[in-house]
Amino acid sequence: MSKLVKITISALGAVIILIAMGVWYAASTVDPVQLTKLLSSSVKTATGRDLKITGPVSLSFFPGISVAAEGLSLSNTSWAPGSDMLTLRRIDVSIKTLPLLSKRIEVDSVKLAGLELFLQKNGTGKANWDFSADAPREPSDTKNNAETSSVSDDLISLDNVSIADARIQYQDPSNTISSYQIQRLSLADSSDKTVVSLAMKFQEQVLELSGKTGSLSRLLKKWNVSSAQFPIDLSLTMNDKSMMIKGEVSKNPKTPPTINLTLNSKTFDWPVFGVPPNLPPRAVSGAQLAPVVHQTQKPQPKYLFSNESIPFDVLPLVKGKVAINIGELNLPKRKPIEHLQATLQLNGGVIDIPNLRFQMDKGSADLQIKLSGLDTANPAFRVKGITKDFTLESLLARLDPGSKVSGGGMKMAFDVKTSGSSLHQMASNSNGKIQLSISQARMGTNFLNDAGDFVVTLLDSMNPLRKKTSETILECAVAYLPINNGQINIAKSVGAETDRLDVALAGSINLKTEAINLTIDPQEKSGLTTGLDLSGMVKMGGTLANPKAGINQAGVVNSAVSIGLGFLTGGASILAENARSMTSKSRPCRDALHPWSDIYPGAE
């Protein structure tokens, strides 16, 4: 949200300040027509865009100087489909009179009503709110620019801002549209504080922000000029659940800001960032409609782990810490997690979370996360931790309430390092170890049917009887996954035991190409009366995004030889195979399990 607020302010800033300067000019030449022409030409010079004012423009000099205009619009960039980037039903600006005598402009208040802002990025990453491409290029001296900027900051100040009935639409390069509606925004500057009041909706979620901060106008004046402290005492409410945000932001010249915040809530909702389908365009004051974009169907991705860049650059490079304490965090369409506690330690391009803890029912998690090099093209990421006392039953109740699963105590430990700017790069460059164990559970045939092609294909390959029975009794399952430069090598280190089968996996998964090469050995515990067991006959190939199950030719040949010998010896070898399977009981879980302390110290 902070990024959109900054974008909105920057898009409106030029218009608002130029209108304020126009009012100062109007003090001596009270001609609305001339004022309109002045504002339009000034905005054109500053942004390269056309400002149109189709409604009336009025001026007043009592009790103070004020100007009002209706029917404003700011043209869009040349490549954007819509003709206007911004439309405004009405703007009212009030100017303090006495500061004009000192050749300073102090804007007492700005009121915006009926704002429509259409933000867009195209496929090349260009943004329609970037005015640099449209503004006329004029040679200028850097020193003079700095002096002019400094003078402008001193001459113009703004105390109070109010926005009512505003709508912001953002269209990303894939033509997905996000909508933000602001019913009310009020920033009232008074002495050393600013009173904040915000009521808005985004993605059909109601959000309110209220409280007070340090003086925003004073902070802007002191930013990178002198030391500034900015206290924060706000209440954020989403769907009638509140979070208290308290702390301080401090800023010294030519150094990153330092923030120290605490976020406390008894219960809070995790926001939904998905886009509601079939977003209707909204009519703009005047007659224009928001640009209608027909969303194109996205092509099938090549990789399961997306190769799209993660926008690490939007994370602020600040110092300080943020302490989070949430009693109950409600997840979208899931049961909540409890007792979430974490401290984010911020140091420029590094975010360190030395302790992140939470609970689900009786299960608990203790994690450590570190992101570094956020100001580089190849950020580094490390995550390690342990979870224990979770159950498959409670976890799937949160993920898939329709799953018929009971029991299944779980334990997991991991320590993984990686780097990259996308999930695919991170998977390709990963190194570390992951181990998961599951104890006895009862599972219906629909177990994890919605978990994706790879999981479903793997489960069907591991348990050929899964679709032939109404229930599977899992006695245990263990997965030990060592990762070396994006390569997972499995040497009988994944195993499972059910009431009827013992299953072991061997092979590899290449996370760089996402190629799968797994041999799956399901063996019936009672021995097969035909002498033909399933051992070594199932092979899984393809990729993580498009897995394929097939027949392991070597396993088929070995089993065929065994059957042939059985016929030649009158069944004696078949009986021997059955006897061997009964006496040489396999233990896939025991063989796959590695010492927990090898993965996470103290995990035993």
Indicate whether 15 pLDDT > 50: yes
**Cα(16)–Cα(21) distance, integer angstroms:** 9
Whether the Cβ atoms of residue 368 and residue 354 lie closer than 8 Å to each other:
yes
- CA nearest neighbour of 236 among 193, 265, 261: 265
Q: What is the mean pLDDT of residues 68-78?
A: 90
Q: Give the Cβ contact number of residue 292 at 10 Å.
A: 11
For the stretch 219-243, pLDDT in tens is 888 888 888 899 999 999 998 899 9
208 half-sphere exposure, CB direction, 13 A CA radius: 9
Long-range Cβ pairs for the range 459-467 (8 Å, 24+): 460/549, 461/518, 461/520, 461/538, 461/540, 461/549, 462/496, 462/503, 462/505, 462/520, 462/522, 463/496, 463/498, 463/501, 463/503, 463/522, 464/522, 464/534, 464/538, 465/500, 465/501
Q: What is the four-CA torsion angle of 405, 406, 408, 414, rounded to 10 degrees?
A: 50
pLDDT at 354 over 50: yes
Tokens standing for residue 516: 């799968």
Place of tokens 């009041």: 197
Mean pLDDT for 436-455 is: 64
Q: How confident is the model at residue 139 (pLDDT cuts 50, 70, 90)?
A: low
Q: Under a CB-based contact definition with an 8 Å cutoff, are residues 284 and 116 in contact?
A: yes
Comparing 120 with 133, the larger pLDDT belongs to: 120
Whether residue 485 is predicted with pLDDT greater than 70 in this model: the reply is: yes
Q: Distance (Å, rounded) from C-alpha 210 to C-alpha 206? A: 14
Percent of the chain with pLDDT over 70: 70
pLDDT of residue 463: 54
When mean pLDDT is compared over 169-173, 234-238, 534-538, the highest value belongs to: 234-238
pLDDT in tens, 363-384: 899 999 999 999 898 999 999 9
- The whole-angstrom distance between residue 233's C-alpha and the CA centroid of its chain comes to 26
Please state, as a whole number, how many other Cβ atoms lie within 10 Å of the Cβ of residue 1: 12
Which CB contacts under 8 angstroms, 24+ apart, belong to 307-315?
307/422, 307/423, 307/424, 307/425, 308/422, 309/421, 309/422, 310/421, 310/422, 310/423, 312/371, 312/374, 312/379, 312/421, 314/3, 315/351, 315/374
β-pairing, 501-510 vs 337-348, is unpaired
Distance CA 444, CA 393 (A): 12
For the segment 238-261, what is each residue's pLDDT rounded down to a tens digit? 988 999 999 999 999 888 899 999
Cβ within 8 Å of residue 574, ≥6 positions away: 529, 530, 531, 562, 563, 566
pLDDT at 502 over 80: yes
Separation CA 34–CA 21 (nearest Å): 13
Higher pLDDT, 270 or 111: 111
> Is the per-residue pLDDT at 320 higher than 90?
yes
pTM of the model: 0.75
- By mean pLDDT, which of 129-133, 295-299, 405-409 is the weakest? 295-299
Question: Residue 71 has what pLDDT?
Answer: 92
Share of the chain above pLDDT 90, in %: 33
- Work out the pLDDT band at 18, boundaries 50, 70, 90: low
Strand partners, 505: 494, 520
Give the per-residue pLDDT at 329: 92
Q: How many CA atoms lie within 13 A of 50 on its CB side?
A: 8
**DSSP 8-state class, residue 569:** T
The Cα–Cα gap between 573 and 491 comes to 29
pLDDT of 590? 92
Reported confidence tier of residue 449, pLDDT bands at 50, 70, 90: very low
Taking Cα atoms as reference points, which of 338, 461, 438 lies closest to residue 398?
Answer: 338
CA 576 to centroid of chain Cα atoms: 59
Residues contacting 334, CB < 8 A, separation 6+? 398, 399
Look up tokens 């990963």; give the residue: 430
Neighbours of 544 (CB within 10 A): 19
Match 């009212």 to its residue by tokens: 92
Rounded Cα distance, 231 and 531, in Å: 77
Q: Please compute the mean of the pLDDT values over residues 555-570 and round it to a whole number.
A: 39
- The string of DSSP codes covering 101-162 is HTT-EEEEEEEEEEEEEEEEB-TTS-BTT-GGGTSPP----HHHHHHHHHHHHHHEEEEEEE
State both tokens at 103.
């050749």
**Cβ–Cβ < 8 Å for 449, 508:** no
Task: Say which residue, 4 or 525, is predicted with more confidence.
Answer: 525
Contacts of 426 (CB under 8 A, 6+ apart): 305, 381, 418, 419, 420
Q: What angle do CA 325, 330, 332 make, to 5 degrees?
A: 140
Tokens of 258: 């330092």
> β-strands 515-524, 57-60: how paired?
unpaired
Closest CA to 289 of 129, 122, 82: 82
pLDDT at 468: 56
Q: Does pLDDT of 136 surpass 70?
A: no
State residue 596 phi and psi, 5-degree precision. Answer: -60, -35
pLDDT score for 249: 93
Instruction: Return the higher-pLDDT residue of 563 and 543.
Output: 543
Q: Which residue has the tokens 């100040």?
A: 157
Cα first-last separation, the chain: 43
Residues 339 and 324: their CA atoms lie apart, in Å, by 10
SS3 sequence of 250-291:
EECCCCCCEEEEEEEEEEEECCCCCCCCCCCCCECCCCCECC
| Residue-wise pLDDT tens digits, 196-216 | 999 998 877 889 999 999 988
Span 343-348, mean pLDDT?
94
Average per-residue pLDDT for the chain: 77
Q: DSSP for 361-389?
A: TTEEEEEEEEEE-TTSSS-EEEEEEEEEE
How many Cβ atoms are within 10 Å of 590's Cβ, its own excluded?
Answer: 11
Average pLDDT over residues 67-85: 88
Residue 56 per-residue DSSP state: -
For range 575-593, the mean pLDDT: 63
Got the DSSP string for 446-492? TTTTTS-HHHHHHHHHH-TTGGGSSEEEEEEEEEEEEEETTEEEEEE
